[in-house]
Structure 1
Amino acid sequence: MQVLKKITITQDFSILETLKIFGTYDGLRLLIVNDLNNNFIGIITEPDIRRGLLSGLKLDDNISSIINKNPIIANIKDSKEYLLSLASQHNIHEIPLMDNNGKITQIISISSLLKTKHYQNNIVIMAGGLGTRLKPLTDTLPKPMLKVGSKPILQIILERFKQQGFRNITLCVNYKSHIIEEYFEDGSKFGLNINYVKEEKRMGTAGALSLIKNIGEHPFFVMNGDILTEIDFSKMLEYHQDQKSDITMGIREFHYQVPYGVVQTDKKGGIVSITEKPNLNFNVSAGIYLLNPSVIHLIPQDTFFDMPNLFNKILCEKRYNTSTYLVTDYWIDIGRHEEYNKANSDIEE
């Protein structure tokens, strides 16, 4: 944030003043231009100044006429892959990132995105479900091993984590677990470190965590093994840490249109209002969570316990910080045949 302040100028800066700032902070090749109320106007680059000088501007003229007011920008939550694609498409080296309030909060350098980070955080994948709604496909295979395109769902999930620098994987398995274990083994052929937790009975989306002997000291992800998403997990981790959260739930916006006119009545049965086929908006769980190891002791041993149970217990405790992280990237929960067919159609596209 300190660097951002140093590369933010106003439109009354002269060309000479602007030139003196270029490249002095982290080698960034663009400057942010705000108005006097700190509202974003645009950006300015050295090529913008070069074109201005060639058109007759002098070094003591201000930059107002050469500001790029329609620059390529991205949202602070956009994935690494999207940012790289944007940079390649427009042949640019830095991209300003804007929050939902219209404020530039960061300048991302494309060269920094190309450097792979390595995280010590553990990834726990719940891969023990019966997949009842996907029968008869799951009569012979556990749901996470159903193929989307040419790869099992679980392999796509794990490769996504690996691409982002997460290598430590724990698979919680139960139904037809031998198929998963024989395919992934210890993970070394996939460039991963995979451990297994075997549920002797169904433990729920949180109960299996009580079986993990050593979760480590870092926040860890818990994710359902039937979700395909293009979320940037590193950004969710950064958000979790910035919020000083003990447990973070990934959420999605869910929209539902009531197919009828909704009638609101008073206590006597009189009509107050009628709304024709209203749209209802909800936040729903995305099946992706971040937990600090300190909350593990809240999970009972050897008992079926779902994530909603854990969140409700944490809320009752009132001494833990909770937060939500809005997942706006591609996301699909492959729970039924319709979603499974859509996932295969999406991957073909």
Structure 2
Amino acid sequence: MRAMLLAAGLGTRLRPLTDRVSKSMIPVINKPSLFYSLNLLRKSKINEAVINLYHQGSQIKDYVKGGEKFNMQVLYSEEDSLMGTAGGLKKMESYFKDTFLVLSADGITDFNIHQAVQFHKQKVALATVVLKKTKEKFRYGVALRNKEEKITQFVEKPSWGDALSDEINAGIYIFEPDIFSYIPAGEPYDLGHQVLPSLVKRGEAVYGYLMDDYWIDMGNLADYMKAQRDILKGKTGIEISGREIEKGIWMGENTQISKSASLKPPVVIGNNCCIKEKVKIGKYTTLGDRVTIKKEARLEKCILWDDVLIEEKAYLDNCILTHFARIPPKLSITGGVVTHRIPS
């Protein structure tokens, strides 16, 4: 079985994090979000995939290369302009000769692919949409199913009057190659806004598979932070890299922590970090590689990417700091995003 990972989007709702970094390369517990989608495929023994690229696509190619680190064969489909989820898929029509999987490159989930594929085949479906129950249904496509689990209505990001169900489109699909006959060639086209509503209206064999597994879209800053905390809480089934030096505290290689520093789990610290005297790091904090935190600085519920410097007595609460950010001495920030070096 082959898969397509959708990674061409601009990630506008995650700005400023995505100004210079592909959404699929944003660190989640010190690994690119793309890692978790590829690892899900690997664990499911799907070893051939294509990734579509547009915004900062070279970052993805540099990281994944040919897929060797995942024991996979990975190809790329580069788009000169955004083609939409369906238009990008249509571009790779010749790659898919049998039942195939399509999913976002940056979602975090541990759903059972094999069970979903088995459901798809039992239903003799043209398309299966993986669904998830949620209270936040107005942000996603909503599906209404009948007793046979066939989708009878599909509304992308509905208004209050159109939200007929609490089962939303998780952005994961299983298709038969016949799906390509419903997608025009050479133009932008969207699965959620155009293809699926049209198929449902025509009465085609479109079914909804309701997952009971962990899933989060990471479509905005709040969900990005929630995904990290859910992993740290053990809600996702995702293993955390590093050596667990105490319960709930993971540390990478060549990291130095002062004996007078205080760490409140769960916390993840990357490689080659330096944590100085009397530093206090609160729960749900992750530090990337080569992070330096100087004397008496305090962090609560923060996400620090690589090569970050926190000067003495700085205080950060519920903040995100991207690569090479610097916080000067004694500065306090609550609920901020820092993407550069703040001058003293």
Please indicate the TM-score interval, normalised by the length of the shorter structure: 0.5 to 0.7
Q: Distance in 2 between matches of 1:197 and 1:135?
A: 24
Distance across 2 between alignment mates of 1:199 and 1:303: 11
- The Cα shift of 1:312 comes to 2.4
**Deviation of the 1:281 alpha carbon:** 5.1
Specify the SS of the correspondent of 1:205: helix
Q: Which residue number corresponds to residue 208 of structure 1?
A: 88
Shift of 1:257: 11
Letter in 2 for 1:148: V
CA contact (8 A) 1:255 1:281 kept: no
1:295 to 162, 176, 179: 179
The CA deviation at 1:174 is 0.6
Whole-angstrom CA distance in 2 between matches of 1:168 and 1:343: 27
Q: CA deviation at 1:216?
A: 3.1
1:339 match: 223
Letter in 2 for 1:218: D
Distance change (3 Å), C-alpha of 1:256 and 1:151:
closer
User: Does the Cα contact within 8 Å between 1:205 and 1:224 map onto a contact in 2?
Assistant: no
State how far apart, in whole Å, the 2-side matches of 1:296 and 1:256 are.
Answer: 31
CA 1:324 to 1:213, structure 2 compared with 1: closer, same or farther past 3 Å?
closer
Residue type matched to 2:195 in 1? L
1: CA distance, partners of 2:133 / 2:200: 22
Q: Could you list the structure 1 runs, at least 4 aligned residues long, displaced by more than 4 angstroms after superposition.
A: none
Instruction: Tell whether the 8 Å contact from 2:11 to 2:219 is kept in structure 1 after alignment.
Output: yes
1:153-181 Cα offsets, whole Å, 9 max, x none, are: 11111011101111111101110101101
User: Counterparts of 1:178 and 1:257 in 2: how far apart (Å)?
Assistant: 34
Say whether residues 1:329 and 2:209 are aligned partners: no
The Cα of 1:280 is off from its aligned counterpart by 8.5
2:34 maps to 154
Alpha-carbon distance between aligned partners in 1 of 2:223 and 2:175, rounded to the nearest angstrom: 28
Alpha-carbon shift at residue 256 of structure 1 (Å): 5.8
Percent of pairs identical after alignment? Answer: 28
Deviations 1:209-228 (A, max 9, x none): 11115233221111112211
Tell me which residue corresponds to 1:179: 59
Is 1:237 the counterpart of 2:132? The answer is: no
Q: Distance in 1 between matches of 2:183 and 2:106?
A: 23
Q: Give the distance between the partners of 1:226 and 1:126, measured in 2 at CA.
A: 8
Question: Shift in Å at residue 317 of structure 1?
Answer: 4.0
In the alignment, structure 1 segments of 5+ residues that lack a partner are 1-120, 259-278
Contact 1:286 1:327 in 2 (8 A): no
Equivalent residue number for residue 103 of structure 1: none
1:223 to 103, 106, 110: 103
Separation in 2, partners of 1:214, 1:253: 34
Amino acid at match of 1:285: N
- The letter of the residue matching 2:122 is D
TM-score, normalised via structure 2 length? 0.58
Tell me which residue corresponds to 1:165.
45
Task: Give the equivalent residue in structure 2 for 1:106.
Answer: none
Q: Which amino acid aligns with 2:33?
A: I
SS of the equivalent of 1:301 reads coil
Residue 348 (structure 1) aligned to one of 223, 227, 232: 232
Residues 164 and 234, structure 1, Cα contact 8 Å, conserved in 2: yes
Q: Please state how far the C-alpha of 1:298 moved relative to its aligned partner.
A: 1.4
Question: Counterparts of 1:280 and 1:209 in 2: how far apart (Å)?
Answer: 28
C-alpha distance in 1 between matches for 2:12 and 2:175: 28
Q: Is the 8 A contact 1:123 1:169 kept in 2?
A: yes
Report the secondary structure of 1:202's partner residue. coil
Q: Which residue of 1 aligns with 2:271?
A: none
CA distance in 1, matches of 2:35, 2:68: 13
TM, length-normalised to structure 1: 0.57
Flag the structure with higher helix content: 1
Structure of greater relative contact order (alpha carbons < 8 Å, 6+ residues apart): 1
The aligned residue for residue 79 of structure 2 is 199
Aligned residue type for 2:176: N
Q: 1:145 aligns with which of 2, 21, 25?
A: 25
Which deviations, in whole Å up to 9, do the C-alpha atoms of 1:58-112 show, x marking residues without a partner?
xxxxxxxxxxxxxxxxxxxxxxxxxxxxxxxxxxxxxxxxxxxxxxxxxxxxxxx
Give the SS at the match of 2:120.
Answer: helix
- 1:313 offset after TM fit, Å? 2.6
Structure 1 residue 338: deviation in Å?
A: 0.4
Quote how far apart the aligned CAs of 1:183 are: 0.9
The code of the aligned residue for 1:162 comes to R
Distance in 1 (alpha carbons) for counterparts of 2:200 and 2:170: 19
Matches within 5 A, 1:1-349: 121-255=1-135, 282-308=166-192, 309-318=194-203, 320-349=204-233
In 2, Cα distance between the equivalents of 1:173 and 1:297? Answer: 23
CA contact (8 A) 2:6 2:85 kept: yes
The count of aligned residue pairs is 208
